[in-house]
Structure 1
Amino acid sequence: MTSTVRRAGAFAAVGAISLAVPVVSQTFSRPVATVAAAAPFVTIAALALYVIEGGVVFELFARPGDRRDGRLYGLAGFALSIAGLSLLATQFEMPIGVFTMSVFVLSFGNLASNAVRSRGADPIAATTAFVAVAFLAGLGSHAAADRILGLPVDLPVLAFLAATGALTAALLRTVLFERDDPLVLLSVGLLLWLFADLAIDVTPQGIVIALGITVALGYVSFALETASLPGMLTGVLLGLLTIVVGDVGWFAMLITFFGLGGLSSKFKYDRKVQRGIAQPNEGARGSGNVLANSLVALFAVIAHAAAPRIDAVPQDLFLFVFAGSVAAAMSDTLSSEIGGLYDRPRLITTFEVVDPGTDGGVTWQGALAGLVGAAIIAGIGAGMFETIGAAGAAVVVAAGVVGMTVDSLLGALIEDRYVGNQGVNFLATAAAGVAGGGFAIALGLAPI
């Protein structure tokens, strides 16, 4: 057993102490339970910072930076982050099962990933092991906490939360350093708290279908090299959330953008390389690109689920925000990937001829491709939702065109001066979402 696997196992053992929290919360009153829940982890942090300076225990937990500094800062940060989450679980309204699930997802996911990597496996195998073991560990820990607390065990809901936690933790672990585990833990805990608080209705059939579809999505996107590893994890996570929190109709629009957008990046890739307009990494889109184009859509899905609690906001409004933002992402992607293959683009602000690939440069071929992309999303929306219909489809197309136009304008005016390409993509999809919602309200499709 390598030192990295032993260290991951030791951290997992510390994380396993979190299962004592439901016991103490069941046994003691809230103030006493809060202290009793955090005490073991605060004690571990204190020992790591001020007592353990060498020896077997130090070597067991020490990361490379800890050896240089002579202190177990990694262990201290990990223990204190668990203590902080335990405070949210015992003193505030975070479900204790969400607390234990978050800790187990990261702790045992790391252990599985290190164990597989120690055998010489590639990053894909290590990440797959992380997600699989984190999912099972998170599911089991939440179910155990519910049993201890005498709460009903809703396996479909727990499976959704465990899958969300495992994918989120795996994604963050691919883009952050090992020392950032406290940030990963807190991020997973807060996200799962949000979804637990929404009280999403998940059926056994629904979660099986959602997991099956999203796993297949991840495999296909990576096999076709339309997404990097972080991009694939981001797409799978967003797909899962869209299916479960929204429904299949929402997912159909999003997956169409992922699929056609990814394939358009591969279209005539060699020629794009010669023209200097190709996406890096062989056209495989990373997590930043996926998130920039999908954050507004994810917000709309979550807001749609939360809308029944806010009487003044109609649910249908967020359907148009979602569809408009996805239409804009599709429209902008197709317009740039197709339009960049043609000569004599013109700058959208002055109409002067510029070189292909110039920020803000547009061609009529690219604009036409973008319009078709927006129409595809609108057609799917109209077919899947009676709320959208013919008038709503026109709204979605208009929102997509607004987003495509805003993207070109921002590209010409501020890209690479104040914000990067991903920032422009986010702002364009946000503008499209606002336009979609605004047009829907104006036409009475989402009356307030």
Structure 2
Amino acid sequence: MAVAAPVLGRAAFVPFAAVALFAAFVITDGPLFELFARPSDRREGRLNGLAGFALAAAGLAILATEIGLPVPLFVAAVLVLAYGNLGKRLVAETSDEPFLGAAGFVIGGSVAGVAGQAAVASLTAAPIVAPRFAFLAVAGSLVAALFREMLFERDDPLVMLSTGLLLWLFDALAVSVGTVDVAAALGVTILLGYASYALGAASVAGMLSGVLLGLLVIVFGGLGWFAVLISFFGIGALSTKFKYEEKKRRGVAEENEGARGTGNVLGNATVALVCVIGFAASHSLPVDGTLFQFAFAGSMAAALSDTLSSEIGGLYDDPRLITTLEPVSPGTDGGVTWQGEVSGLLGAGIVGGVALALLPEVTLLGAAVVTVGGFLGMTADSVLGATVEGPQFGNEAVNFVATLVGAVVSTLAAFVLF
């Protein structure tokens, strides 16, 4: 039904709307009901899941025919979710391992997404651009899989609409997508995603967030940007695992055996994601794309600086509150040690060094700017921890502000100096 959209034109929404009506009001028992019913549908005697799915597809079809969403992306969004769910269900027949279920979703959705875009291209005599199709299908599958991990099964309509809209954004930003870039992005990010999960460095949702972020960074920024990103994720994960049992005894260890979840990933990397999207869009913005490089590197320097400061500094006694310098217990928000401060400065310097080596616009002075920005971001994190962090302003929000400070300081310094 989705692939028929180029033929149906403005009536592409009609078959999905009909399915929604039949699911909601006509099919209340029998073989079709049993085929599509979820446990909650059986309790209510109505195929609400199928009705919601079909209505979401109808809404996307209207966006495609009336608002301007490219038809191949409408088809990809529908097929990514449908066949992603199928892939996850097939894996569930033989294994209840969460990682394998997520992998089944991404593989099933990616294959269907590529096939759907290719089918639309064939029907409309448009060129088949395999690298672009692969990037969009995999990105859409990762987005949908991530939302499926974070939401409930009944939220498929929200997942589909979100996937379609984000694919629209990715398509607009991906001005040039090469075969080598996409192949490198897929190979590197999938390998590192599996490694992060297998080593216990991330939950399934955290792994999906990191892989999606890595894919976007490589395609929109390049391998140099990815090296900056992975310097945070790699070294940060190792520092979290470093002497973990001792940190646990001291009460300063990360929860879930140090595995990073979506909140942790997004708290530390949201600013970086905005920067890489800004860089990709800089060709149509009145802003020098180089500034986005400094903002990206500065945010990652702040993230790694804060992580090393906490993970290394937490192993030492006699922390002091950064705002008053009074002694506090280990693990107290805003408590710092001189060992942690040195480690944080080293972390910011590592990111500055990677940026110097691999980002073309970053000079030695630029690396110093990134390092200072990262260190000040770490300091902002400690100050916020001592003053406002709590139930209403959690750790993820503090991390976000810290990375934002690192990005803003680095960008302003680069703008003034260069």
Same fold (TM over 0.5): yes
Contact preservation (8 Å) 1:382, 1:389 = yes
Matched, 1:409 2:393: no
- The match for 2:2 is 18
- The match for 1:196 is 171
- The match for 1:316 is 290
Matched, 1:130 2:105: yes
2:32 to 57, 61, 74: 57
**Matches for 1:7-46 after TM superposition, within 5 Å:** 17-25=1-9, 33=10, 36-46=11-21
- What is the one-letter code of the residue matched to 1:183? L
- The match for 2:140 is 165
**Matches for 1:170-185 after TM superposition, within 5 Å:** 170-185=145-160
Measure, in 2, the Cα distance between the counterparts of 1:360 and 1:400.
17
- The match for 1:394 is 368
Matched, 1:260 2:235: yes
Partner of 1:419, secondary structure, is coil
Could you tell me how far 1:60 is from its partner in structure 2?
A: 1.9
- What is the one-letter code of the residue matched to 2:266? L
1:344 to 305, 318, 321: 318
- The match for 1:237 is 212
Measure, in 1, the Cα distance between the counterparts of 2:181 and 2:287.
27
Identity percentage of aligned residues: 54
1:296 to 263, 266, 271: 271
Could you tell me how far 1:270 is from its partner in structure 2?
A: 0.4
Contact preservation (8 Å) 2:174, 2:280 = no
- What is the one-letter code of the residue matched to 2:229? L
Contact preservation (8 Å) 1:117, 1:123 = no
**Taking structure 1 as the reference length, what is the TM-score of the superposition?**
0.91
1:424 to 398, 401, 409: 398
Measure, in 2, the Cα distance between the counterparts of 1:433 and 1:68.
51
- What is the one-letter code of the residue matched to 1:119? T
Measure, in 1, the Cα distance between the counterparts of 2:20 and 2:344.
55
1:285 to 254, 257, 260: 260
Matched, 1:210 2:180: no
1:328 to 302, 309, 314: 302
- What is the one-letter code of the residue matched to 2:390? D
- The match for 1:379 is 353
Output the aligned Cα RMSD: 1.2
Could you tell me how far 1:330 is from its partner in structure 2?
A: 0.4
1:437 to 405, 411, 415: 411
Measure, in 1, the Cα distance between the counterparts of 2:27 and 2:387.
56
1:220 to 187, 195, 213: 195
- The match for 1:140 is 115
Could you tell me how far 1:281 is from its partner in structure 2?
A: 1.1
Deviations 1:240-298 (A, max 9, x none): 11111100100000011100000100000001100111111111111110111011001
Could you tell me how far 1:417 is from its partner in structure 2?
A: 4.2
- What is the one-letter code of the residue matched to 1:266? K
- What is the one-letter code of the residue matched to 1:422? E
Partner of 1:18, secondary structure, is coil
Q: How many aligned residue pairs are there?
A: 418
Could you tell me how far 1:121 is from its partner in structure 2?
A: 4.3
Partner of 2:252, secondary structure, is coil
Could you tell me how far 1:414 is from its partner in structure 2?
A: 1.2
Runs of 4+ in 1 over 4 A off after TM superposition: none
- The match for 1:248 is 223
Q: Which runs of 5+ in 1 are unaligned?
A: 1-16, 26-32
Partner of 2:239, secondary structure, is helix
Measure, in 1, the Cα distance between the counterparts of 2:250 and 2:43.
48
Could you tell me how far 1:221 is from its partner in structure 2?
A: 1.1
Contact preservation (8 Å) 1:157, 1:200 = no
Measure, in 1, the Cα distance between the counterparts of 2:6 and 2:377.
48
Measure, in 1, the Cα distance between the counterparts of 2:350 and 2:295.
16
Could you tell me how far 1:322 is from its partner in structure 2?
A: 0.3
Measure, in 2, the Cα distance between the counterparts of 1:175 and 1:118.
22
Contact preservation (8 Å) 2:174, 2:220 = no
Contact preservation (8 Å) 2:225, 2:359 = no
Measure, in 2, the Cα distance between the counterparts of 1:412 and 1:73.
48
